[in-house]
Chain A
Amino acid sequence: ELKVEQNPLFLSMQEGKNYTIYCNYSTTSDRLYWYRQDPGKSLESLFVLLSNGAVKQEGRLMASLDTKARLSTLHITAAVHDLSATYFCAVVRDDKIIFGKGTRLHILP
């Protein structure tokens, strides 16, 4: 059974700091997504990671995938208040897509 765990589930951090969100999954997967959700809003796609060692960066966010460890990370560099949101990873295997519970990120000015 495919399971996805994110940690931490809640993170409060100061502007300018670096931090990493982790997404662990239980079985082999075909691809992994990262999404952002603002309160009461829809989801915005951030990254699609397809293969082992894949690394993608957009602004202060960088996502990576280690399929052998069944781990993806979302790294935040020099956080700014605008990055406050909930971040979800989602793992696809065959015809199943399983979302993590999300990491609620609160960046203090």
Chain B
Amino acid sequence: DGGITQSPKYLFRKEGQNVTLSCEQNLNHDAMYWYRQDPGQGLRLIYYSQIVNDFQKGDIAEGYSVSREKKESFPLTVTSAQKNPTAFYLCASSIPTGVFGTDTQYFGPGTRLTVL
């Protein structure tokens, strides 16, 4: 089955720690995205990548970092510089025609990060 997987489903972090969230897709999509969702809010874009070895900052990139070494994988690191990291993190992919594409974005199941 094709799709997007994220791990872990739940993640607890102590203040001052860096953590990495995994996102893998086998849809052969070129574009991948990371979003953050806070309770009662819509999504906000953290980073996106349209092609391997290239990525761009979204609206709230501060305190986050990404890499795109393989087409299938787009891990997100939440660094200690992110002051309020507790949130629901969603990864997505799409076939891009222009930024974000004209086609459907497929979302992973999400990772819920809690800072203790």
Give 18 A-B contacts (CB < 8 Å), ordered by A residue.
A4-B42, A30-B98, A31-B102, A33-B105, A41-B109, A42-B90, A42-B107, A42-B110, A43-B43, A43-B107, A48-B103, A48-B104, A92-B100, A96-B45, A97-B100, A99-B43, A99-B44, A101-B40
Interface of A is mostly: strand
Hey, which chain B residues are within 8 Å of A95, CB to CB?
56, 99
Q: Interface size of A by Cβ–Cβ distance < 8 Å?
A: 23
- Chain B interface residues toward A at CB < 8 A: 40-45, 56, 59, 90, 92, 98-100, 102-110
CA of A48 to CA of B99 in the docked complex: distance in angstroms? 14
Q: Which of A7-61 contact B (CB under 8 A)?
A: 30-31, 33, 41-45, 48, 50
- Chain A interface residues toward B at CB < 8 A: 4, 30-31, 33, 41-45, 48, 50, 88, 90, 92, 94-102
CA of A4 to CA of B42 in the docked complex: distance in angstroms? 10
B42 adjacent to A102 (CB under 8 Å): yes
Report A75 CB to chain B, min CB distance, Å: 20
User: Which 9 pairs across A and B sit closest by C-beta, in order of nearness?
Assistant: A99-B42, A45-B104, A42-B107, A43-B107, A99-B43, A95-B99, A92-B100, A42-B109, A42-B110
